[in-house]
Structure 1
Amino acid sequence: MLIETRPALDPELAALVTAQQRELTDAGARAGERIFEPRDDIEYLVGVVNGRAVACGGWRAGEPEVAEITRMYVRPAHRGRGLGRQMIVALEEEALAAGRLVIRLETAAHLLAVIALYQSSGYARIPAYGDPRNICFEKRLPALVQ
């Protein structure tokens, strides 16, 4: 998978996030709860396989040295191939290069495969910091040696 930085208004990114939101709504999220509003404070990455955008994720700066992963999604036909893990690593690398040593994220409690992916990627559960119905995770990254 080729991973590319994309602007917030990229149409392929918007299509991926729209598919993510539709899937979340179908899986039990309340309709209208997840609306994609392109944000300039999020660094977006898109994963491309055979010229087609099939995965996305983003990170945004939080408090000092903290980044939050958001908008993680892999199209269903491409799941089970390690693309989500590749996207997590790419997001971590980008955040670390920007001086972010702690990565946090939040996900819906019913997304068991997503939770397993984060846990197997070294994320530990922390108290909820956003929607109290969600589960939050954190990972401390090693500082870059200069």
Structure 2
Amino acid sequence: MLIVQRDPTDTDLAALLDAAFAELVAKYGSEGRSTVRADATYLVAVDGRLAVGCGAVQPVEGTTGELKRMYVAPAHRGRGIARSLLKALEERAVELGYDRLRLATGVRQPEAIALYESSGYVRTAPYGKYLDEPLTLCYIKTRLS
């Protein structure tokens, strides 16, 4: 498996993002997508020639970045792809000058919660659009490797 940076207009990345959104709608209803900044950096996990996972890191302020759009296609889960993708996103965040990352996930995503908590992310107060979202959990990691 290879993890590569892709442009937000990449068709493989777009297909993964559409699948991620469809899964979220199935779990939580048709709430709107959270905004991803135009200057976000997207990484895609590629198995052979097939794009199987994605994620992004975007600036927030100062040395804080935010993880967005973490997703692995269902047929490829359970193989460590999400953990590898998360590590690559953290490494890219450090390259971009961030020393901490925040993220939001949902209470109906226990695998995502387990991944983040086992990777050193700790619960933090809700922020931004998540302030009044009872199904959202916010996390932060202040020591990136």
**TM-score above 0.5, yes or no:** yes
What corresponds to 1:58 in structure 2? 56
Counterparts of 2:36 and 2:58, CA distance in 1:
12
Question: Which stretches in structure 1 are left out of the alignment for 5+ residues?
Answer: none
Counterparts of 1:30 and 1:69, CA distance in 2:
22
> Which residue identity lines up with residue 33 of structure 2 in the other structure?
R
Q: 1:112 to 1:38 in 2, by over 3 A?
A: closer
Counterparts of 2:24 and 2:141, CA distance in 1:
24
TM-score computed with the length of structure 1 as normaliser:
0.90
Counterparts of 2:140 and 2:36, CA distance in 1:
24
- Give CA-to-partner distance per residue, 1:42-73, whole Å, 9 cap, x none: 10000000210000000001110101000000
User: Which consecutive segments of 4 or more residues in structure 1 shift more than 2 A?
Assistant: 37-40
> Which residue identity lines up with residue 5 of structure 1 in the other structure?
Q
Q: How many pairs does the alignment contain?
A: 141
What corresponds to 2:142 in structure 1? 140
Q: 1:39 to 1:99 in 2, by over 3 A?
A: closer
Question: Which stretches in structure 2 are left out of the alignment for 5+ residues?
Answer: none
Matches within 5 A, 1:1-146: 1-27=1-27, 29-31=28-30, 33-34=32-33, 39-130=37-128, 131=130, 132-133=132-133, 134-142=136-144
> Which residue identity lines up with residue 138 of structure 1 in the other structure?
I
> Which residue identity lines up with residue 26 of structure 1 in the other structure?
A
Counterparts of 1:142 and 1:56, CA distance in 2:
19
TM-score computed with the length of structure 2 as normaliser:
0.91
* Contact 1:96/1:141 (<8 A) preserved: no
